[in-house]
């Protein structure tokens, strides 16, 4: 606890953009065959440092088979909420769930780049016993504590009851219990985020554990059995107030990115694939004057024709490579939406100044199932652009390349190595890869989500408008 709010807490997105640039990034490393324990890499991203673009420290966990995916901070700018009174928390701990093991690690990163260490481990049994959920995934800090979304319910295969969100104490990290009082039609889960002063939450659906843990199930996908709905919640009443079905062909509605400025009542959601035409799509959702939520497809990304010989078994029959929109991220000024096309190997930058009309403003080609575009430094970038994170000032964009162990192997057979790259954003949009930044990871590790020291564009929730 501090006597003053943590200097990395900002009342508004605009003030966060004016804060100092990040000098460290935290990147998750996972062992896809579970032969090594997963870990956290601390990467120097200070261009003035001789260690720029290098891993300066790693924290290796004591267990194997956790499968790290997403993670988050114990506290962020939401601590300045005038309603909650947690202004004196420290942004100090990273909460890293093991998506396969349901184990949760609390990593203390205070004390400089090489000081990161394990603070606490929450064993899977505690999560199961206190919540009835399994396979924890997305972390957000909010009212009453840390919110953790899960992908599985109870039982061995996670299908005994629906998955949901649970709450952890933000100081002791005790698991408190389930969030939902009335979940309505929600029976699958993926991402969630909210507008704190407006008091609503939005969640999305990926799939149930048997549909992802051992790889994508093509029959389920072609029969539209993956998630395709968004759920809207009364945040503090913990009630599902509306469900929007995007249409069964819009398979896998993943990342939810609300406008950071809390005055705005819209946001985006990425859909991985349309099973009628292999398109990826961006949806804009908003709350209308009557308080009802609406959603509309506002951008599509077409598949690219390909030779069956260049495609993995899974895609041979289609003679095309789908873009596979697996992650999206919105800059703090709500101006640029970054869209990872993991299948085709592209990172798109859309100008979403008009959220109903995204305009492609920049694009980088890197990796890809067919194109396999090399990085300008000459190195091979395996897989495609995946988890993307934007600096607070919006000038730098970082991304890694692995989607999920078993899915990587289906779309990109063979081990292709973990990587993390950086691109610079032009003054009027546009995206250019930094030739000097290509982080290679220890052998056998793949990479997933990135967090930036002091907060980034997918962690902090702000309680005051940008004025």
Partner 1 sequence: MSPELLSTTAGLWLAVVASGIYHGVNPGMGWPLAVSAALMERRAYALPRALMALAFGHLVAMTVVLLPFALMTALVDWQTEIRVGAGLIVVALGVWLLFNRRHPRFLARVPPSRLALWSFLVAVAHGAGLMLVPIYLGLCGIVETDAGHRAATALIARTAVLSIGVAAVHTGAMITAGGALAFGVYRWLGLRFLAKSWFDLDVIWALSLVLVGAIGVFSAL
Tell me which residues touch partner 1 (CB under 8 A).
Answer: 1-5, 9-12, 15, 80, 82-88, 143-145, 171, 196-199, 234, 236-237, 262-263, 463-465, 467
Phi, psi of 460 (to 5 degrees): -80, 135
Name which of 80 and 116 has its Cβ closer to partner 1.
80
403-407 CB contacts, 8 Å cutoff, 24+ apart = 403/326, 403/342, 404/67, 404/69, 404/212, 405/30, 405/32, 405/33, 405/67, 405/446, 406/212, 406/213, 406/214, 406/215, 406/216, 407/212, 407/215, 407/216
Cβ 200 to partner 1 shortest distance, Å = 10
Name which of 6 and 408 has its Cβ closer to partner 1.
6
User: Which residues lie below 8 Å from residue 25, measured CB to CB, with a gap of 6+?
Assistant: 42, 43, 45, 389, 398, 420, 450, 451, 452, 453
CA end-to-end span of the chain: 29
Cβ 87 to partner 1 shortest distance, Å = 5
- Measured in whole angstroms, the distance separating CA 2 from the mean position of its chain's CA atoms is 29
Name which of 2 and 294 has its Cβ closer to partner 1.
2
**58: which strand partners?**
41
Name which of 16 and 299 has its Cβ closer to partner 1.
16
Name which of 125 and 237 has its Cβ closer to partner 1.
237
Name which of 11 and 227 has its Cβ closer to partner 1.
11
Cβ 291 to partner 1 shortest distance, Å = 12
**364: which strand partners?**
347
Cβ 147 to partner 1 shortest distance, Å = 11
Cβ 9 to partner 1 shortest distance, Å = 6
Please give the Cα distance from 235 to 27 (Å, whole number).
Answer: 30
In angstroms, the Cα distances linking 87 to 42, 83, 452 are: 27, 10, 21
Query: What strands lie across the sheet with 325-330, from one edge to the other?
Result: 325-330, 336-341, 346-351, 359-365
Please give the Cα distance from 348 to 338 (Å, whole number).
Answer: 6
Name which of 175 and 321 has its Cβ closer to partner 1.
175
Name which of 205 and 334 has its Cβ closer to partner 1.
334
Cβ 2 to partner 1 shortest distance, Å = 7
C-beta separation of 94 from 73 below 8 A: yes
Cβ 136 to partner 1 shortest distance, Å = 21
Cβ 91 to partner 1 shortest distance, Å = 13
In angstroms, the Cα distances linking 427 to 250, 325, 361 are: 34, 26, 11
């Amino acid at each position: 606890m501090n006597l003053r709010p943590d200097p990395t807490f900002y009342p508004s997105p605009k003030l966060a953009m004016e804060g100092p640039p990040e000098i460290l990034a935290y990147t998750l490393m996972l062992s896809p065959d579970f032969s090594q324990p997963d870990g956290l890499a601390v990467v120097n991203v200070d261009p003035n440092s001789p260690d720029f673009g290098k891993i300066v420290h790693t924290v290796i966990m004591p267990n194997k088979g956790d499968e790290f995916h997403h993670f988050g901070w114990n506290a962020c700018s939401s601590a300045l909420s005038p309603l909650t009174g947690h202004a004196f928390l420290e942004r100090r701990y990273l909460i890293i769930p093991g998506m396969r093991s349901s184990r949760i690690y609390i990593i203390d990163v205070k004390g400089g780049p090489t000081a990161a260490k394990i603070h606490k481990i929450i064993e899977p049994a505690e999560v199961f016993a206190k919540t009835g959920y399994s396979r924890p995934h997305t972390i957000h800090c909010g009212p009453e504590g840390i919110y953790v979304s899960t992908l599985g319910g109870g039982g061995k295969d996670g299908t005994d009851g629906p998955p949901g969100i649970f709450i952890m104490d933000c100081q002791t990290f005790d698991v408190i219990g389930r969030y939902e009082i009335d979940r309505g039609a929600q029976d699958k889960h993926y991402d969630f985020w909210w507008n704190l002063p407006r008091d609503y939450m939005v969640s999305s659906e990926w799939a149930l554990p048997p549909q992802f843990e051992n790889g994508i199930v093509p029959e389920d996908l072609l029969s539209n059995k993956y998630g395709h709905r968004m759920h809207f919640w009364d945040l503090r009443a913990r009630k599902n107030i509306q469900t929007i079905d995007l249409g069964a062909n819009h398979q896998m509605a993943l990342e939810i990115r609300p406008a950071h400025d809390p005055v705005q009542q819209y946001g985006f959601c990425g859909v991985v694939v349309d099973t009628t035409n292999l398109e990826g799509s961006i949806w804009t959702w908003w709350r209308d004057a009557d308080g009802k939520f609406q959603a509309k497809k506002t951008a599509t990304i077409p598949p690219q024709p390909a030779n069956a010989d260049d495609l993995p078994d899974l895609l041979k029959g289609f003679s095309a490579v789908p873009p596979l929109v697996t992650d999206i991220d919105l800059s703090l000024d709500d101006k640029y939406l970054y869209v990872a096309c993991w299948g085709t190997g592209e990172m798109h930058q859309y100008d979403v100044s008009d959220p109903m009309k995204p305009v492609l403003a920049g694009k980088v080609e890197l990796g890809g199932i067919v194109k396999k575009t090399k990085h300008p430094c000459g190195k091979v970038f395996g897989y495609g652009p995946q988890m993307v994170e934007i600096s607070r000032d919006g000038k730098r964009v970082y991304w890694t390349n692995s989607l999920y162990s078993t899915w990587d192997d289906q779309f990109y057979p063979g081990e292709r190595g973990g990587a993390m790259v950086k691109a610079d954003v032009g003054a009027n949009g546009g995206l250019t890869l930094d030739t000097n930044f290509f982080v290679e990871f220890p052998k056998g590790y793949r990479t997933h989500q990135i967090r930036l020291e002091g907060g980034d564009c997918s962690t902090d929730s702000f309680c005051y408008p940008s004025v």
